[in-house]
Amino acid sequence: MTSKRSYACKNYPGMEACPGHFVAETEDEIWKLMELHASVAHGEDPGKWSNEDRQYLKTLIKSE
């Protein structure tokens, strides 16, 4: 059985009110969903995320 990955935007500091929650088969897929969500819902440019931001976000990706 393959473990799915999930990310809940509300777990990121300052985003507690955000309902964005994603589940995907791979971590790669989750990153694409996270980047799209950040861009569309929060007006962020994921291309400007620092390595530190990405490392922290990676800790918020959970196995299900």
- Decide: 4 and 62 in contact? Cβ < 8 Å: no
Q: What is the pLDDT of residue 2?
A: 73
- pLDDT, tens digit, for every residue of 37-52? 999 999 999 999 999 9
Which among 47, 49, 59, 51 is positioned nearest to 11, based on CA atoms? Answer: 59
Q: Residue 1 — very low, low, confident or very high, per pLDDT cuts 50/70/90?
A: low
Q: Give pLDDT tens digits for 7-60.
A: 999 999 999 999 999 999 999 999 999 999 999 999 999 999 999 999 999 999
Identify the pLDDT of residue 43: 98
Alpha carbon distance 62, 8 (integer Å) = 9
Residues sharing a CB contact under 8 Å with residue 17, sequence separation 6 or more, in sequence order? 10
